[in-house]
Chains A and B, each alone.
Chain A
Amino acid sequence: MIYLDHAATSWPKPEPVQEAMLRYMRDVGVTPGRSGHRLANEAERIRLDAREAVAELFGVSDPLRVLFTSGGTMALNLVLFGLLGPGAHVVTTGIEHNAVMRPLRALAARGVTISVVPCRADGTLDAAAVVEQLRGETRLVAVNHASNVCGTVLPVREIGAITHERGIPLLVDAAQTGGAWPVDMQADNIDLLAFAGHKGLLGPGGTGGLVLGDDFDVARLPPLVYGGTGSRSEHEEQPEFLPDKYEAGTPNMVGLAGLGAGVRYVLERGVAQIRAHEAALTGRLIAGLRGIPGVRVVGTQDARRQTAAVSFTRAGRSCSAVAHTLDEEYGVLCRPGLHCAPQAHRTLGTFPDGTVRLSAGPRTTPAEIAQAISAVAQVARVE
């Protein structure tokens, strides 16, 4: 089996991730923040390990500014519903995932105005195009760091330089880049970063969160979810301090144990090394696919400017049929369709038919890429 669906969920997880989750279940098993006994304290240490690892990965100095949620979607909802109300204006891009577009469409029905900055047909965007959309009532700029469809990376640093100048917070959806592309919130001018735990961070599903930049004023952002935190139990109002303000309810501790180990694995191997590995594989994959008659690769077709998500179409063939044959006959696992990103597919000219997406991961081998190319060549040829 050749697993090329890392842009959806990375698999298999590194052994330390599996071990950390097993160890938590076997030896700790309880919820932090409530009781003060030794197991509760140990659970809190595991959660702090995960916060410290994520803070180090994204370049923030205070681990308590790493907030855990059920995933990237919840983190994006927290920011979008927290910062945008009737009369507000938000700027986003033509390459977004539905994790951003659906909350924004729901907010539009409540009186929020949305400007979608068009991207070029390869998904690229100039920061200057964002500037043109900014208005006096713009409360947020929300940008996908990299397309989950074609991997195109957007110029967040340049966009952030402009939003900083105007005092508008920049929210970056780093679902595709966390652990796979260097991100430094300070240098990249990112105020709010939503991350998914189950992709490049190599943790399990059901993990993710929001990182608050060192200079972001938390008084601006109300919680999305209210409830018990184990702290200030005598009050019926939500605490104002971090991280409890945004972490009501019982956390997914077995998930966070795995997430912490996953991010630690990424840090030890190094994002630069992972990036170099995936860029090499992506370059081979793009070149191989481009050599197959009838196959069209979408996006920049340049491994230096994109993540490991590579999408293609085969004229006259449905992407789901191609993906099904790749799975059934060649053991190549990938994802066909619209990838929860109709906006991005419109930009790429692949709506509504979609694409077949192959996405390598940190432990994919060149041999697997060669086999996948050969499988696509076979499938593309057969009528």
Chain B
Amino acid sequence: MFEFAVILVHSTSHAIQAERVLGRAGLAVKLIPTPRHLSSDCGSAVRIAAGDRAAVEQSLRAAQVPIDRIELLDG
């Protein structure tokens, strides 16, 4: 069972926007350095609870936040 997932983005502008949009939606978020094993254009990523993934995707879509993808996070 995975505890966390990570939102990979292209730019910190998008990471901070995701953080804000999800925070306003009452979802728990934390900015983290992009895990090395996950390729991404941006050094920052947004960690979320794995169980929130559907709600997160919906919120980001509604607010037009551009993301690369969401990956489950080991450990």
Contact = CB atoms under 8 A, between A and B. Distances in A.
Interface stretch (A10-18, A30-38, A188-196, A273-281): A30-38
Interface of A: 32-36, 40-41, 44-45, 47-48, 61-64, 229-234, 239, 241-244
Given A63-B17, A231-B42, A32 B12 contact: yes
A61 B44 contact: no
Interface string B9-52: 01111111100100000000001011000000111100000000
Interface of B: 10-17, 20, 31, 33-34, 41-44, 64, 66
A232 B41 CA distance: 5
B13 A64 contact: yes
Nearest to B68: A241
B31 A241 contact: no
Question: Which of A34, A230, A239 has the most C-beta atoms of chain B within 10 angstroms of its own C-beta?
Answer: A230
Question: Which of A32, A44, A244 has the most C-beta atoms of chain B within 10 angstroms of its own C-beta?
Answer: A44
Given A36-B31, A41-B31, A41-B44, A231 B10 contact: yes
B13 A36 contact: no
Contact of B17 (A40, A48, A232): A48
Contacts of B15: 41, 44
Nearest to B9: A231
A41 B10 contact: no
Given A62-B64, A239-B10, A239-B11, A231 B16 contact: no
Nearest to A45: B16
Contacts of A241: 10-11, 14, 66
Contacts of A32: 12-13, 16
Contacts of A233: 41
A36 B15 CA distance: 10
Contact of B12 (A41, A61, A62, A242): A41
Given A45-B16, A62-B64, A64-B17, A33 B31 contact: no
A370 B45 CA distance: 57
Given A61-B64, A241-B10, 18 more contacts: A34-B12, A35-B43, A36-B33, A40-B12, A41-B31, A47-B13, A47-B16, A48-B13, A64-B14, A230-B11, A230-B43, A231-B10, A232-B41, A239-B10, A241-B14, A241-B66, A243-B11, A244-B13
